[in-house]
Amino acid sequence: MKIIKTITELRDHLSHFKRPAFVPTMGNLHEGHLTLVRQAKPLGDVLVASIFVNRLQFLPHEDFDTYPRTWEADCAALEAAGCDVLFAPTEKELYPEPQGFKVHPPVELSDLLEGHFRPGFFVGVCTVVLKLFNCVQPRVAVFGQKDYQQLMVIRRMAQQFALPIDVIGGATLRAADGLALSSRNNYLSPGDRAEAVHLSQALKAMAQALREGAVDISALERQAMTHLTARGWQPDYLVVRRRADLQPPATGDIPELTHNQGLVVLGAARLGATRLIDNLEV
Q: Looking at the annotation, which residues are catalytic?
A: 33
Residues 33-36: contacts with CB under 8 Å, at least 24 apart: 33/77, 33/144, 34/77, 34/78, 34/80, 34/81, 35/170, 35/171, 35/173, 36/142, 36/143, 36/144, 36/170
3-state secondary structure the chain: CEEECCHHHHHHHHCCCCCEEEEEECCCCCHHHHHHHHHHHHHCCEEEEEECCCHHHCCCCCCCCCCCCCHHHHHHHHHHHCCCEEECCCHHHHCCCCCCCCCCCCHHHHCCCHHHHCCCHHHHHHHHHHHHHHHHCCCEEEEECCCHHHHHHHHHHHHHCCCCCEEEEECCCECCCCCECCHHHHHCCHHHHHHHHHHHHHHHHHHHHHHCCCCCHHHHHHHHHHHHHHCCCEEEEEEEEECCCCCCCCHHHHHHHHHCCCEEEEEEEEECCEEEEEEEEC
Distance (Å, rounded) from C-alpha 85 to C-alpha 79?
9
